[in-house]
Amino acid sequence: MSDEIVARQPQAPVYETDEPITYRADGPVAWVMMNRPQFHNVQNSQMTYALDAAFARAMADDAIKVIVLGGEGKHFSAGHDIGTPGRDHLVPFDRAFLFGDHSTRPGAELLYTREQEVYLGMCRRWREMAKPTIAMVQGACIAGGLMLAWVCDLIVASEDAFFQDPVVRMGIPGVEYFAHGFELPPRIAKGFLMLGERMPAARTYQFGMINEMVPRDQLQAKVAAMAHEIASRPRLGNWLTKQALNHVEDLRGKRTAMDAVFHMHHFAHAQNDLVTGHSLGGLDGAAMAKANKRQAGEG
């Protein structure tokens, strides 16, 4: 075993919950909720695979017609877990794809293998689920949080919601599921990434990035009403409709652009590793939160 691999041996994650995702069926609607509110629903592998299992459960149940994805607590999701005791990026899980065990791989291959599976692979799989999905977004939707909102067919946000991808601070051109240039006009997307500022829900509404914006106390009722309405449509019609629009996006280059940028993203991880010895350029969750708060004038 090389020194490099020894240095990557994981500290065992300390999970604060056995249930990072909760699942509730309400008639034809499945409510899938991220459940790490004390950590602003940052996503570790435990959560990612639980999320995949929850979606599989909703897909296997013919009574479920629509799937809602939300987050418990103040925020939808503050991104990928880069700093809680439950960070488990070096832990092997039962894999959903045939890329192999990332945790045994040397150098840049480790992260490349992991992110093919848990980020790009999972997000595409969830985008293509054969039932309509609605993201219910409040508070922060940052970086990895964007990926989860963007894979859903519809996004309903509360007025307090904001969207942000600040990973250019790490020298990385946006999160792994690169839909930025499709979710926003290209010049707006450049500013969104280069400045990495919080974009309020009202601003994203101007670009059609979200479907509806409502006061925080009306968010759940609005999403429930939409979900039940969509659930009354024919199942196959709903599936074909989402496929039709996904296909249009892919014809416009979404899939191929995302493949290209995924590799740029990994070039950036590798460059960080070469120059700083750390794939995130030496920044962790606390450092990113501090920089974001300073930028937002909060600290």
Residue 97 beta carbon to Zn ion: minimum distance, rounded to whole angstroms: 16
d(CA 148, CA 143): 9
Report which of 193, 200, 197, 163 is spatially closest to residue 295, judged by C-alpha positions: 197
Binding characters for Zn ion, 150-169, by CB under 5 A (x = yes): --------------------
User: Residues binding Zn ion: what is the number (CB under 5 A)?
Assistant: 2
Q: Minimum CB separation from Zn ion for residue 119, in Å?
A: 7
Using the contact rule CB under 5 A, the part of the chain among 137-145, 148-156, 172-180, 183-191 near Zn ion is 172-180
Q: Which two tokens stand for residue 273?
A: 């590793």
Q: Which is nearer to Zn ion, 115 or 197 (CB)?
A: 115
DSSP state of 170: G
Nearer to Zn ion, 66 or 167 (CB): 167
Nearer to Zn ion, 197 or 273 (CB): 273
Q: Which amino acid appears at position 237 of this protein?
A: G
Per CB under 5 A, contacts with Zn ion among 64-93 are none
In the bound state with Zn ion, the residue whose beta carbon lies nearer, of 88 and 176, is 176
- Of the candidates 150, 133, 132, 152, the one whose C-alpha atom is nearest the C-alpha of residue 141 is 150
Could you tell me if 159 and 215 are in contact, meaning their C-beta atoms sit under 8 angstroms apart?
yes
Q: Output 73 or 92, the one with its CB closest to Zn ion.
A: 92
Site string for Zn ion, 176-215 (x = CB under 5 A): x---------------------------------------
Q: How far is the CB of 193 from Zn ion (least distance, A)?
A: 14
Phi/psi class of residue 165: alpha, beta or left (left: φ > 0; alpha: ψ in -120 to 50)?
beta
The H-or-E segment that residue 212 falls in is: strand 212-214
Cβ 156 to Zn ion shortest distance, Å: 28
Write down the least CB distance from residue 176 to Zn ion, Å.
Answer: 5
Distance CA 156, CA 161 (A): 10
The position carrying tokens 């039940």 is 228
How far apart (Å, rounded) are the C-alpha atoms in residues 3 and 157? 47
Query: Which region among 21-29, 63-71, 173-181, 203-211 touches Zn ion (by CB under 5 A)?
Result: 173-181
Nearer to Zn ion, 176 or 273 (CB): 176
CB under 5 A: which stretch of 7-15, 70-78, 171-179, 252-260 binds Zn ion?
171-179
- DSSP symbols for 74-106: S-SB--B-SSSTT--TTS----SSSS--GGG--
- 137, 76 Cβ separation under 8 angstroms: yes
Window 226 to 285, contacts with Zn ion (CB under 5 A): none
Indicate the residue among 231 and 280 with the shorter CB distance to Zn ion. 280
Contact residues toward Zn ion (CB under 5 A) are: 115, 176
